[in-house]
Structure 1
Amino acid sequence: MSIKNEALPNRDVVLIKINGGTFLAVACDSAGGVGEKERDVVKVSPYITGRFTCRVALMELLAIGAKPLTLTATISCEPSPTGEGLLKGIKDELSACGLDDIPFAVSTEKNIPTCQTALGVTTIGIASEAELRMGKTKSGDIIYCLGVPKVGNEVFLDDPDIADAMAVKRLLAFSEVHDIIPVGSRGIKGEVEHLAAVSGLSVRWERFLPVNTEKSAGPSTCVVFTAPAGLEIKGLRPVFRLGTLA
């Protein structure tokens, strides 16, 4: 596998070779108009916005096999109360993923009043070339989906039908699992078709699909992954078979 210092195609991740076979990995996510401010479109607490924005950036990093080292939180709102709520969500998401001690930098808007919630989270990690989970998909692999695509007001924190960062970590424990891709706004179909294209393969979709493959998955409420036929994924639900790559 040859990896250049570049952004991965259509992924919010950049890999930078720092020495030998070691790579720095940088991933990011942003949220705007999601909170409790006057002009927010989706009305949820800043805490929820902080958790899900942090979650997406972590999932992107973990999905390629990188170990998170630090993150930044760019808060385009006042430090209190919105900033405090966002930061509490970020800290609790890190804790839920077993990353309580990870250091991070924070910036808030202290000069200009804002009428919408806006947050950007960047995660930085490290991985050896041998640890990277990308470019592993092979002809004959089955395409699976973990979680259900949901967006906007459909999304809530304790929904058992959505994926999270810990689910990605559990998938990484299966050596048979090849590529893992968090699904975002372009939906399952877009992610699978792109994976097939970069792998030089084509998709044979199941005749009856159990989820809407064209729907946005919002804050990565589902992930697609590839593995050989016959793999048993225990302890993770819901998992759906979507098709075959050939």
Structure 2
Amino acid sequence: MSRPENSSAALHIDTSKPHPARMYDWFLGGKDNYPVDEAMGRQMLAVEPAVPVMAKVNRAFMHRATRWLSNQGILQFLDIGTGIPTEPNLHQVAQEAAPATRVVYCDNDPIVLAHAEALLSGTPEGSIDYVQADARDVDAILEHAGKTLDFSKPVALSLISLLHFVTDEGGAYELVSRLTDVLAPGSYLVISHLTADFHPEKARKVDEMYKANTLTLAPRNRAQFAAFFEGLEIVEPGIVAAEAWHPELGEPIPGQDDIVSAGYVALGRKP
């Protein structure tokens, strides 16, 4: 892996308000979070006690999708909105199946950069890189990712739990369109996304919490989610809850039982 861009720059981690990536880390049982993140996490647990299980269900979908893509012969991944590294991460799943896999991670959170160099190490045959950039800075992402990935060949673009933090006005659809436009035929788009369709009242309360903490949250309904895949061929079983996407490719999650996740997932293939 090459040294992460900006890794020598001074890191400023804002601990004055909760951060979604750090809350996600807390829900997964990680240690890279602060009291402010735990405080809001506990508020969310009061609304929906199953949030940690939902987080694990979402994480497990990423593992299964990566495994499925590797089985299709995909050897390149661009993962935007990486979040705090939690093992096994995407590159570990992909390189276990195909050691020569090349992966580029991207995130704009300084705490992710702080851990990237230490945690994102892979196989000698493969390659891993990390770019510090906002998801909406498509030009910067593509310029840096192009040093590791060959965009003339198929790439899996992974946007796991990212787009519900980008509003329509903030360019959510535009960034997906611009990224998929550069992908070669045979490439895939992978998305998991928060929705209010499954638990509308609980989703409303969580949305109020985010607004009270000046955080952006943009849950989308099924039709709005499907719009991200315009022009792509959606892979079976289609647009489903996270736990319903090829469960046979993963292990059962303790405590999941019949819990329905809070998000839609899907994979789309570029013809």
Task: Normalising by structure 1, report the TM-score.
Answer: 0.30
Larger helix proportion of the pair: 2
Task: Normalising by structure 2, report the TM-score.
Answer: 0.28
Larger strand proportion of the pair: 1
